[in-house]
Structure 1
Amino acid sequence: MNNEDNPVIRALLERRSIRKYKDEPVSNEALTTILDAGRWAPSGLNNQPWRFLVVKRGDPRHEELAKCTKYARIVRGSAACIAVVLEKAAMYSEMKDHQGAGACIQNMLLAIHTLGLGAVWLGQIVNDQDASLSALTLDPKLYELQAVIALGHPDQRGSSDRKPLADLLLEELS
């Protein structure tokens, strides 16, 4: 099968991190589609411990969030940010719940791409949980920030490369 014939494989291969956005809002309909894609990620025991907070440009928390990362210009330029947090009371296995959050984030990034929008997964922002959660007005006793997805209408083309598959295999396929 040709990879170009499969829309899921094509989205996986074409998605790129976008860090520059047009000054244009993202519709609530698109945001709902993106959040719903995250909701359908797999999780251990189907516990779905993730929670989402959408902070749009113009919300004072958007600027406060920008102050929590060395990538402030990306946050400030985005139409919206999606904070992906784990609700601590809903967690059952730290490792599995973190893996599930990663799957959730990837689902949202793929949905964003297929909607013709652009996004970047900001991970550095989680290094200061207290400041980031405070900027979002969330209680660090209740939530653990996993990532912030900055998104908007792309104002750049993304680029990337990958190591050859052979360099990643521990054994050759037989």
Structure 2
Amino acid sequence: MQDGQLLDFIKSRRSTRRFTSEDVSDDMLNTIMEAGRWAPSGNNNQPWRFCVVRDAELRGKIAQYTKFGAVIKNAPVLICTMIHTPSMYNDTKDHQAVGACLENMLLMIHGLGLGAVWLGEILKNAKEVRETIGLPEELELMAVVALGHPDGGTSKPTRKEMDELVVGRF
């Protein structure tokens, strides 16, 4: 990539909350999860696990556990991203690794011309979501990524100025 292209690409990614009914292919989903799989992790433990939910009835059940249920019902696909607790060696480091995995997937989704939103508010009901899907206790929900083909525009986010974020340069 040329100078600035990657940064411009990162800046152009948006959270998408409205989707068309067009399906997302298995090839695209596999590419998205492959991008997540290549995220860095401490000791290369790769603590993330994925559960793909396409079934509309199951998405409806999951939707009841968040105030953003309409987004979940509207998205043709969810990637429930979990942390595999037996694989963990450091709570902070492993949770950071899952965050890197999620960002890789969001960037790949954007690169494929799809839209997505990382839903975290649903974590207040993580246990109920896991039980609804029927996954074992060793998997802890970290996020639900709702994705599909975007339907309509997205808002342009703002960012704090760099001088508000940099606390020192030594």
**What TM-score do the two structures reach when normalised by structure 1?**
0.92
Picking from 137, 143, 147, the partner of 2:139 is 143
Q: Indicate how the Cα distance of structure 1 residues 95 and 44 shifts in structure 2: closer, same or farther if over 3 A, else same.
A: same
Identify unmatched segments of 5+ residues in structure 1.
none
Q: How does 1:65-144 map to 2 (within 5 A)?
A: 65-139=62-136, 141-144=137-140
Deviations 1:113-170 (A, max 9, x none): 010000000001111121111122112x211100000001001222211011111110
Which range moves more in the overlay, 153-162 or 94-103? Answer: 153-162
State how far apart, in whole Å, the 1-side matches of 2:58 and 2:132 are: 6
Runs of 4+ in 1 over 4 A off after TM superposition: none
- Structure 1 residue corresponding to 2:165, chosen from 160, 164, 168: 168
State the identity as a percent: 42
* Equivalent residues of 2:127, 2:140 under 8 A apart: no
Unaligned runs of 5+ in 2: none
Q: Cα distance, 1:2 vs. partner? A: 4.5
The aligned residue for residue 15 of structure 2 is: 17
1:64, 1:135 → 2: CA distance? Answer: 7
Is structure 2 residue 57 aligned with structure 1 residue 48? no
- Preserved contact between residue 57 and residue 78 of structure 1 (Cα < 8 Å): no
**Partner amino acid, structure 1, of 2:139:** Y
* Aligned partners of 1:38 and 1:105 also within 8 Å: yes
Q: Distance in 1 between matches of 2:13 and 2:75?
A: 17
Q: Aligned equivalents of 1:70 and 1:134: distance in 2?
A: 19
Q: C-alpha root-mean-square deviation of aligned residues, in Å? A: 1.4
User: Conserved in 2, the CA contact under 8 Å of 1:123 and 1:146?
Assistant: yes
